[in-house]
Amino acid sequence: MRQDIPFTVRSAPARAGIALGLLLAAGSARGEQPPAADHAVVSTDILHEFNRATVRLAGRVSPAVVQVQASGFHPAAPGGKVDAAFVARQHAVGSGVIVDPDGYILTNNHVVHGAHRVEVLLPATPGGSPQTDDAQRLFEAKVIGVEPDIDLALLKIEARHLTALSLEGAATVSQGELVFAIGSPEGLAQTVTMGIVGSAARQVDLAQSMIFIQTDAPINPGNSGGPLVNVDGALVGINTFIVSESGGSQGLGFAIPAPTVRLIYESLRKSGRVRLVEAGLATQNITPTLAAALGLPRDWGVVVSDVALGSAARAAGVEVGDVIASFDGRPIDSLAAVTAARYQHSPGEPVRLVLIRGTQRLSVNIDAKEKTPHADLAELASPESSLVRRLGILGVDVNERLQGVIPGLREGTGVVVAARTLDATSVDSGLQPGDVIHAVNGTRIESVESLRQVLRGIKAGEPVAIQIERQGRFAYLSFKME
């Protein structure tokens, strides 16, 4: 089960013991085994040096790690069962990393998803004072942009001269490498943890080409969005989720690799969104077993696993089983290369693929259209302006933006139900997210405010008939007002 509740690490003494054992084994292999009498002294020296190194690293990285506090409406239901039809006001705590001294901060999209208020708590300096000249630690944050598919969000606070972890160079990792995480698991800010890289490029979902850094570092709620760094203190990833059956850590933690983070950051900072094209094909890594079973021309690289019906890729002649040799002239040897090429592609230009099909080498140009940004109805609603308490809903005025979210609207005015709220004072109206309210008791509804005004004129116990549009069809919902 995938749980979006990121990152923590194993105890330092345990890891130090492993490191000590490796160092002693290496010395023994070189014929450097110390005399038995000196063994304890050598062991203690190594432990002290390891301890000093981790303390120095934490001191360098911790000032760049912040706590992110988000409040807003999120899916919820009575009894703790998740039900997207209902939302309730909730408070979430996650982590973030300062990537620019002028107040730019990266975190996970799921930390701020649906939030109407985001605040950032800066770490205190060793003396307990703020690291800014403003003598404050808590800042209101603006969401510059999000990329839900990668689970990243860029925040901005009005502060300068902050300690930051640079994305320049976008450090990569290798399997077995020692890594550290700093974040706010369970709200405990500035928690430093440690683990090793289990895989430097793990594809978690075969339906998605995204790859992650897999670590054995324990992950707990609140670590989402925090940095994963190497022994040099360089940012190698952003912690994002765990795979767990119990909800606790089972040594399967995942982080977004730094090269991907950098591409997303640059796009979000430049335009507030990531411009992508949608070709309609899915890919996955080739393994020797897969290559042998399918008779592929190579046992490494990337193979096309699906081509959507009616897609631009199908129209261009791409077939399931094709091996991708290059993407826009960039050699493709892994899913990481596909992800990088996709995010570097310029919308408006055709996607140029070189494919290997059996013994043939083919070049195709895919006229891929720009992907329509995903718009969540609940994100479009704000509690201050959207709450219609008597119906227990968050409503949004129909506008041009909603035409793309709810295609096929038969009328250009009305109120879209963005979500339902868990409010004991509201009536059970039967409304569902996505419904469009066009009239109440025969009175046309043009906006959320006009809906409230009509409802104010209806007394408790009086009958109500709401004309709605649901999936392109008109219908009435009737009930008595409470």
Alpha carbon distance 324, 354 (integer Å): 6
> Is there a catalytic annotation at residue 110?
yes
Which of 184, 209, 224, 429 is catalytic? The answer is 224
Give exposure, 2-11, as e/b (b: 16+ Cβ within 10 Å). Answer: ebbbbbbbbe
For residues 260-286, average pLDDT: 90
**Beta carbons of 134 and 159 less than 8 angstroms apart:** yes
Residue 92: which residues within 8 A CB-CB, separation 6 or more?
A: 69, 70, 71, 74, 111, 112, 115
Instruction: Work out the angle between the directed axes of helices 258-271 and 335-344 (0-180°, nearest 10).
Output: 10
Domains in the chain, CATH or no CATH each: 1-8+64-274 (2.40.10.120), 277-370 (2.30.42.10), 377-480 (2.30.42.10)
pLDDT at 246: 53
Tens of pLDDT, residues 253-265: 889 999 999 999 9
247's tokens: 């909800």
pLDDT at 427: 76
How high does pLDDT run on average in the chain? 81
> Is there a catalytic annotation at residue 151?
yes
DSSP conformation letters of 208-267 = ----EEEE---B-TT-TT-EEE-TT--EEEEEEEEE-SSSS--S-EEEEEHHHHHHHHHH
Other C-beta atoms within 10 Å of 407: how many? 8
Residue appearing with tokens 């089983």? 321
- Secondary element (H or E) of residue 80: none
Alpha carbon distance 365, 62 (integer Å): 47
Most confident of 8-22, 93-107, 191-205, 367-381: 93-107
Which of 74, 95, 100, 151 is catalytic? The answer is 151
pLDDT at 77: 47
- pTM for the structure as a whole: 0.69
For residues 10-18, average pLDDT: 42
pLDDT at residue 297 greater than cutoff 50: yes
Which of 74, 100, 110, 397 is catalytic? The answer is 110
Question: Which among 263, 229, 252 has a CA at the least distance from the CA of 97?
Answer: 229
Alpha carbon distance 95, 137 (integer Å): 15
**Beta carbons of 114 and 153 less than 8 angstroms apart:** no
Tens of pLDDT, residues 369-420: 888 765 566 666 666 678 898 998 888 888 766 655 666 678 878 998 887 8
